[in-house]
Structure 1
């Protein structure tokens, strides 16, 4: 067979292979856009877009929660769950991260903190976003909030206030594995497994490949999560310093 004929045979196969690779890449690396109700929740909360992410904050917040999204998840997907924190006096920054991967934007929380230089900062994250949050919390000695996540390294020797929430129906981080990974959490961490909650149920971005279905209404689960988070935040007794007194 001549080289020209061989080339003509191989060319369609090469295009077919390239299409297959692209299709698989899109399937496994596709983004998870926020559902319309998440965008509506963000708007109702008076949220504003900032270079580092999506900010929901009262006029005089007590503290700022900088939250890292799960892999390839639109940050606004967490607005329905976290917007009520604004009503309780806390600012929430839903962080944008490069290519949807929090580990590529671990400093993003510190960028958000520059908007509120006098406020206490705590960091949180869902799934892979929690890994980035834990790394920053350990380095900067910050309170830590984790949804279906755990530190990459062992933080059991650290004294960082920590709340870690997991779902009993999580198909990506099953309870048995989550219990084992929880050994890495800072000492004294509060660990809660929520009945009926899966992996994607922490946000509003639709079903996630490999996950299990929810076993309870999502709104009821969100209220339970919000209760746990508010108890944790209030236990920290965070507050912004009073404004400097005028010099007389």
Structure 2
């Protein structure tokens, strides 16, 4: 076989390999988009929906606190609007944070950018799945209340007393209940841990099925109401019925 033919075969093999890598990357790293109906549904909520450099704001008229929420890996932030819009309607400014390449760990400080834009509001940080890991790290460092959806802290926070709500699903295929219970040992000692019956991993948002997950066993609208109720109970327990004066804030 002559040199030209060898070079041609090498070039073809390299091209096929590169195409395969790109194809696999697209398959495994493709963004999980919010379902098309979600943005339109926000129009009837009475909320001011505003794009900001740090994320999408869902704002009531007189917010009493700020919930900055990190999305799960590769999930479009808008996908969490159906779950968290009722929280905003109840008086909390919800910011669905934008993160580079859909990876919250690349923008752990993003919640503080939202806080800087609303300095008079106390801050709660939350996140779904990998987004919860980023939220937990920031909450531990800044001593903030923490909200987790199908997530847990990377570090052991069991010695902390941060107000924490951790929601898990009994049908989660990516974080099954047995594993979730074990990981929950890392949560702050005062954490409220809830396993919602029939909920899966992707059921925390509206972005369709997720690879490796199990089907939900309840209508997702029912599950979304249950999630929102738990979140509101947690936020109300923090005692922010009215906005505190600026001098009372950290």
Shorter-chain-normalised TM-score: which range? over 0.9
Corresponding residue for 1:175? Answer: 177
| Greater displacement, 223-232 / 3-12 | 3-12
SS at the partner of 2:18?
A: helix
Question: Whole-Å Cα distance in 2 between the matches of residues 19 and 103 of structure 1?
Answer: 28
After superposition, the C-alpha distances for 1:39-61 in whole angstroms (9 at most, x for unaligned) are 12334333110000000111221
SS at the partner of 2:48?
A: coil
TM alignment of 1:221-236, pairs within 5 A: 221-236=223-238
Deviation at 1:11, TM superposition (A): 1.6
After superposition, the C-alpha distances for 1:145-198 in whole angstroms (9 at most, x for unaligned) are 000000001000011000000000000000000000000000110000011100
SS at the partner of 2:57?
A: strand
| Greater displacement, 163-172 / 33-42 | 33-42
SS at the partner of 2:144?
A: coil
Question: Whole-Å Cα distance in 1 between the matches of residues 43 and 67 of structure 2?
Answer: 18
**1:41 and 1:83 in contact (8 A); partners too:** no
**1:65 and 1:91 in contact (8 A); partners too:** yes
Segments ≥4 residues shifted beyond 4 Å: none
SS at the partner of 1:77?
A: helix
Corresponding residue for 1:240? Answer: 243
Structure 2: give runs of 5+ residues left out of the alignment: none
Taking structure 2 as the reference length, the TM-score comes to 0.95
Equivalent position to 2:78, from 73, 76, 79: 76
SS at the partner of 1:193?
A: strand
The size of the alignment, in residue pairs, is: 244
Taking structure 1 as the reference length, the TM-score comes to 0.96
Structure 1: give runs of 5+ residues left out of the alignment: none
Corresponding residue for 1:162? Answer: 164
Equivalent position to 1:95, from 97, 107, 132: 97
Deviation at 1:108, TM superposition (A): 0.4
**1:131 and 1:149 in contact (8 A); partners too:** yes
Question: Whole-Å Cα distance in 1 between the matches of residues 165 and 181 of structure 2?
Answer: 14
